[in-house]
Amino acid sequence: MAKAIIIKLKKAGSRLSVFSISDDMGNILASNVPKASLISGFTVSVGDDAKVITVASTGINCCNKSWNLPIVNLDVLNIAAIEFQQSNTASLWRHLTNPTIYNKFYDCVQPYVIEYPFSYQYYDEILQNIKDYSKVYRYLPSTDGVFNDNQKVETDQYYFNKAILYNGQQSSGVLELVSKPINNLSQYLKYPLYNTDSKTITFTKSGNFYQYNTFWSLVKNKSVPLFLNSCQSMSVDKVVNQANMDYSKRSFKKEPLRAKELKVRHILDNSSETHIVSQFITAPAQISYK
Q: What pLDDT is attached to residue 289?
A: 77
Q: What pLDDT is attached to residue 164?
A: 95
Decide if 276 contacts 159 (C-beta within 8 A): yes
Residues 215 and 184 in one domain: yes
Q: What pLDDT is attached to residue 273?
A: 84
Q: Average pLDDT in the 151-177 region? A: 92
Residues 61 and 135 in one domain: no
pLDDT of 61 higher than 80: no
Q: What pLDDT is attached to residue 15?
A: 67
| Boundary-marking domain end, from 53, 86, 119 | 86
Residues 284 and 247 in one domain: yes
Task: Give the other-Cβ count within 10 Å of 282's Cβ.
Answer: 15
Does any domain span residue 27?
Answer: yes
Does any domain span residue 275?
Answer: yes
pLDDT of 283 higher than 70: yes
Domain that holds residue 211: 99-288
Residue type, 229: N
Q: What pLDDT is attached to residue 229?
A: 74
In tens, the pLDDT along 64-75 reads: 677 777 877 777
Q: What pLDDT is attached to residue 96?
A: 61
Does any domain span residue 94?
Answer: no
Which letter, b or e, does each residue of 103-130 get, where b requires 16 or more Cβ atoms within 10 Å of its Cβ? beeeeebbbbbeebebebeeebbebeeb
DSSP state, 143? S
DSSP annotation string for 5-74? EEE---EE-TT--EEEEEETTS-EEEEEEEHHHHHH-EEEEEETT--EEEEEE-STTTTT-EEEEE----
Q: What pTM, to 2 d.p., does this model score?
A: 0.72
Residues 258 and 149 in one domain: yes
d(CA 90, CA 128): 49
HEC string for 4-23: EEEECCCEECCCCCEEEEEE
Does any domain span residue 125?
Answer: yes
Does any domain span residue 91?
Answer: no
Beta bridge partners of 215: none
pLDDT of 112 higher than 80: yes
Does any domain span residue 92?
Answer: no
| Boundary-marking domain end, from 86, 118, 137 | 86
Q: What pLDDT is attached to residue 67?
A: 76
Q: Across the chain, which distance is largest between two alpha carbons, in Å?
A: 77
Share of the chain above pLDDT 70, in %: 86
Worst-scoring range by mean pLDDT, 155-159, 203-207, 272-276? 272-276
Q: Average pLDDT in the 189-200 region? A: 92
Residues 243 and 121 in one domain: yes
Residues 214 and 245 in one domain: yes
Residues 159 and 234 in one domain: yes
Does any domain span residue 246?
Answer: yes
**CA triple 119-124-127, angle to 5 deg:** 75
Residues 248 and 139 in one domain: yes
Number of domains in the chain: 2
Residues 152 and 24 in one domain: no
Q: Average pLDDT in the 129-152 region? A: 81
Worst-scoring range by mean pLDDT, 52-56, 97-101, 229-233, 281-285? 229-233
In tens, the pLDDT along 10-38 reads: 777 766 778 888 888 778 888 888 878 77
Does any domain span residue 93?
Answer: no
Residues 114 and 66 in one domain: no
Residues 242 and 275 in one domain: yes
Residues 217 and 267 in one domain: yes
